[in-house]
Structure 1
Amino acid sequence: MTIDAHQHFWIFDEERDSWITPDMKVIRRNFLPEDLWPVLKANKVDGCVAVQASQNDAETEFLLHLAEANDFVRGVVGWVDLKAVNLYDQLERYSQFEKLKGFRHVAQGQPEGFLLQPEFIRGVGTLVAFDFTYDILIYQNQLKEAFNFAVKLPNVHFVLDHIAKPLIKAQELQPWADDIRRLAELPNVHCKVSGMVTEATWMHWEKADFRPYLDVVFEAFGTERIMYGSDWPVCLVAGEYEGAKGILTDYLSMFSDDEVRDVMGNNARRFYNLDI
């Protein structure tokens, strides 16, 4: 069972999706389940987890609607205002949706201290009451803050998205590597090997460019806390789905069959409690 633990859907809106800049023209259009399913089948991927791309309640409803209509969308990571006064009531309502597995806030690029706001920490801590997970989306310079954030919430199941976006294009490992190792010391933190190609030289990367980063992540988290994610369709600005997936599958050729199965599907199934 192979699970793509990180992909997105959207109906493109130039104002809302302003992060999709003109140089990313290949993804300045709609991407829906009917676009993804043929790609997954061609790459022998059995299902996926749809992750929020917009910061509003409508995004969560949109993804839940798509998941309900498409069996291969096994789970949803939505958005909710984690600082809302009525957060508990909102989560109680969301807990009725079996495919809603967790939440994410786009924290990358936020001012220093964003993750450490007491209201935000309290909100993320509330997720535990409903067995919801939290995806950490940050840049590599926010890893120290992410550690200080996660250490305050030992009961929350965290997963770090996109290995925290290291400077792959510049082939810089430090201080990212040391900060990753420190974050991985927390047993409740997992890591998605996803979103790497967009941090490299678009369309001109080599698989060898990613090996030093994969070495660090696998040494730090071990095969029991790593999951595969494509970051489709964002990955398309830097390469095709097959090529991006091949970076990880080639790297995994040195691992046992059980370890490969864990990274490519079992860990995501367990972390997000997917009904498979």
Structure 2
Amino acid sequence: MRIDAHHHFWQLTARVGHWPPASLGAIYRDFGPADFEPLLEQCGIDGTVLVQSLPDSKDTGFLLELAERHSFIRGVVGWADLKAPDAPQQINALARHPKLKALRPMLQDLADDNWIDDPALRPAITAMIENDLAFDALVVPRQLPGLLAFARRYPSLRIVIDHAAKPLVAIRQLEPWRTAMEDLAKLENVHCKLSGLWTEASQDTDIVAFEPYVETLFRLFGTHRLMWGSDWPVQRLATHFGDYAGWLAACENYCDRYARDEDKDAVFGGNACRFYRLEE
């Protein structure tokens, strides 16, 4: 089964004061299933993981309602206030929904790089582990040391790094991102998404600039802990490189170079199914 392990839906009326700004015309509108399903059919994608994009429980409720109505949405990554006094109760309630598979605090937007490495999170993370929920880590390179400490603290928590931690492709900076990712990849509970790289570059970035980052991901996480995602509709900001089908084709080409044929299905579906406990 081919899975897009990372995409979004949103309504602008719910995003007043939040990203994206009106200046990003390619994504400054509502996006929903009717926009996305033709792309899935065109590219032979069987199911998806729908990911939150607002730190708001109402947004998670909106996504779960969509998942109830659309069978192609196999799983939802939601949001909860993990440091709230009632976080375990929030998580227990969310976990009753069969398509709620993971939670994602929006770490990249937080000023405190070590927010995630805080013992105050223990009640929430314990509730996640007890409910067999995974953790999506939306981080940028400077936050990787904090994520490493967090991942070591909770070895039984399944963690996936979204968008490969958004390396600084635009300026071709590999370090300290590469070394930090090497440390994280040593932990078997840490996985990574092959997603979002094109939008970390600038319009004048040469396509070959992505090679050392992709090579690093395949070398560190292999084909058993790497999963493909589109990051649609955010991916629409990078159409100078290609569209949805173009990003998929590019990643298939990467697999041709860095993976054995028998392992490709894992990157494009099998790993996401196992990690998120998706029903086939």
TM-score where L is the length of structure 1: 0.95
Q: Is the 8 A contact 1:162 1:194 kept in 2?
A: yes
In the other structure, the counterpart of 1:261 is: 265
Q: How far did residue 150 of structure 1 move? A: 1.0
2:158 corresponds to 1:157: yes
Distance change (3 Å), C-alpha of 1:67 and 1:250? same
| Percent of paired sites with the same residue | 38
Gaps (5+ residues) in structure 1? none
The worse-fitting range, judged by mean Cα deviation, of 151-160 and 14-23 is 14-23
Q: Is the 8 A contact 1:109 1:139 kept in 2?
A: no
In the other structure, the counterpart of 2:56 is: 56
Q: Is the 8 A contact 1:50 1:76 kept in 2?
A: yes
Q: Is the 8 A contact 1:121 1:149 kept in 2?
A: no
Q: String of CA shifts for 1:78-112, please: whole Å, max 9, x gaps.
A: 01111122222222222221111010010014223
Counterparts of 1:112 and 1:132 in 2: how far apart (Å)?
A: 23
Counterparts of 2:184 and 2:123 in 1: how far apart (Å)?
A: 20
Counterparts of 1:253 and 1:187 in 2: how far apart (Å)?
A: 24
Counterparts of 2:160 and 2:268 in 1: how far apart (Å)?
A: 15
In the other structure, the counterpart of 1:251 is: 254
In the other structure, the counterpart of 1:231 is: 231
Q: How far did residue 256 of structure 1 move? A: 2.2
Q: How far did residue 24 of structure 1 move? A: 1.5
In the other structure, the counterpart of 2:102 is: 102
One-letter amino acid of the counterpart of residue 245, structure 1: L
Counterparts of 2:222 and 2:177 in 1: how far apart (Å)?
A: 17
One-letter amino acid of the counterpart of residue 232, structure 1: W
In the other structure, the counterpart of 2:197 is: 196
Counterparts of 2:16 and 2:159 in 1: how far apart (Å)?
A: 27
Specify the SS of the correspondent of 1:192: strand
The worse-fitting range, judged by mean Cα deviation, of 242-251 and 192-201 is 242-251
Q: How far did residue 41 of structure 1 move? A: 0.9
Specify the SS of the correspondent of 2:169: coil
Q: How far did residue 43 of structure 1 move? A: 1.3
Aligned residues: 275
In the other structure, the counterpart of 1:218 is: 218
Q: Is the 8 A contact 1:195 1:230 kept in 2?
A: yes
Q: How far did residue 17 of structure 1 move? A: 5.5
Q: String of CA shifts for 1:183-233, please: whole Å, max 9, x gaps.
A: 11111000001111110124x554422111011111111110000010000
The worse-fitting range, judged by mean Cα deviation, of 242-251 and 4-13 is 242-251
Q: How does 1:127-206 map to 2 (within 5 A)?
A: 127-202=128-203, 204-206=204-206
Counterpart among 244, 248, 253 of residue 241 in structure 1:
244
Counterparts of 1:116 and 1:212 in 2: how far apart (Å)?
A: 29
Counterparts of 2:81 and 2:205 in 1: how far apart (Å)?
A: 37
Counterparts of 2:7 and 2:224 in 1: how far apart (Å)?
A: 21
Counterparts of 1:75 and 1:260 in 2: how far apart (Å)?
A: 21
Counterparts of 1:15 and 1:250 in 2: how far apart (Å)?
A: 36
In the other structure, the counterpart of 2:47 is: 47
Q: String of CA shifts for 1:40-96, please: whole Å, max 9, x gaps.
A: 111111110000001111111101100110000010000111112222222222222
Specify the SS of the correspondent of 1:181: helix
Q: How far did residue 119 of structure 1 move? A: 1.8
Gaps (5+ residues) in structure 2? none
Distance change (3 Å), C-alpha of 1:183 and 1:119? same
Counterparts of 1:263 and 1:241 in 2: how far apart (Å)?
A: 17
Counterparts of 2:17 and 2:38 in 1: how far apart (Å)?
A: 25
Q: How far did residue 129 of structure 1 move? A: 0.6
Q: How far did residue 113 of structure 1 move? A: 1.9
